Structure 1
Amino acid sequence: MKTLIFFFLGLGIATGQKTLQWVDGQTSPPASLENVKWIAGHWQGEAFGGIAEEIWSPPLGNSMMFVYKMVKDNKISFYEVGHIQGIDNTLILQLKHFHGNLHGWEEKEETIDFKLIKIENGVAFFDGFTIEKVNENQMNMHVLIGEDEKVQEMTFAYKRVE
């Protein structure tokens, strides 16, 4: 099983069964950025004793980019930069992590990739990562965090910043 790490998220609360995992031989369904354009905006939530801030652009150039910042004790814990990109008539979520000094976590050419499993009723299920529209001003991200037998699903709640 691949290693799953923290990524662009808000309020952490343990939950269950909101994520799906990729099965060998599976293919991603047809999808476009129109299916997830509601994610665009400025979002904030509490996370790990600090504040998580995430900003998503509207679709442009066949992608929706995002930046994420985790602030704890008034200091940057880490950043993320990534996108949901339309590729081969479906979507993929990709990201990279950075320390507060912008030194990368992943190797230069490496990204953390989440293949699309399905989209239904305002919920995008990527491999181990689910983005759920609660309403126009709230969304949840459900993420598998950990490694091998120590994987747990966490729910992160965001509110739209006006």
Structure 2
Amino acid sequence: MKNFLASLLFLVSTILLSQNTVKLEGKDSPDAGIEDVAWITGHWQGEALGGITEEVWTAPLGKSMMGSFKLVVDEVVQFYELCTITEENRSLLLRIKHFDKDLKGWEEKNESIEFPLVKIEKNKVYFDGLTFEKLNEDALNIYVIFKYEDKKEVEMKFNYKSAK
């Protein structure tokens, strides 16, 4: 019974949470410029993945934005991400590279994880499997689809507050 309830809770939460991310599914990314997502800029902190999470996004410059992510659990850095959002082919592309706490890369040297733009709404931008949503000047949510070895996909929500 315990396993059944856990499975049911997992299924229901996946269905309910999956409404915040979308897939590109063979379509072309829509036209967009970096200024369309300038509202992501800021220093954001929250709690997720069993610790404190931090993201910093720079203002647009050179048709791009640069971001960094850090996860700290029990005062120990678990991993980092370096991120960019760039204008490419009249649209936007989000790229991420992961690093251990000692800056050893997870992806191969010349590889990154890419999230093409799917659509933009007021204060919400949908990349393929990752969504930014600005609630107000002091709150930002990020929704990310995580893929597990068994190929299950689960959406995780990161609640951020401004770290001003």
- 1:16 deviates by 2.9
1:22 is aligned to 2:18: no
Q: Which residue of 2 aligns with 1:81?
A: 82
Unpaired stretches in structure 1, ≥5 consecutive residues: 1-12
Q: Per chain length, whose mean CA-contact separation is higher, i.e. which structure has more relative contact order (CA < 8 Å, sep 6+)?
A: 1
Q: Which residue of 2 aligns with 1:126?
A: 127
Q: How does 1:13-52 map to 2 (within 5 A)?
A: 15-24=17-26, 26-52=27-53
Cα distance in structure 1, aligned partners of 2:145 and 2:160:
17
Unpaired stretches in structure 2, ≥5 consecutive residues: 1-12
The structure carrying a bigger helix percent of its residues is 2
1:96 is aligned to 2:97: yes
- 1:61 deviates by 0.9
Q: Larger radius of gyration, structure 1 or 2?
A: 2
Q: Which residue of 2 aligns with 1:151?
A: 153
Letter in 2 for 1:45: G
Cα distance in structure 2, aligned partners of 1:97 and 1:105:
5
- 1:39 deviates by 0.6
Count of residue pairs the alignment pairs up: 149
Percent sequence identity over aligned pairs: 47
Q: Which residue of 1 aligns with 2:3?
A: none
Q: Please, what TM-score do these two structures have when normalized by structure 2?
A: 0.87
Cα distance in structure 2, aligned partners of 1:149 and 1:106:
19
- 1:146 deviates by 1.6
- 1:149 deviates by 4.2
Cα distance in structure 2, aligned partners of 1:112 and 1:88:
18
- 1:138 deviates by 0.5
Cα distance in structure 2, aligned partners of 1:109 and 1:133:
31
1:105 is aligned to 2:106: yes
Per-residue CA deviation, residues 35-58 of structure 1 (Å, 9 max, x unaligned), is 110111100001122101111100
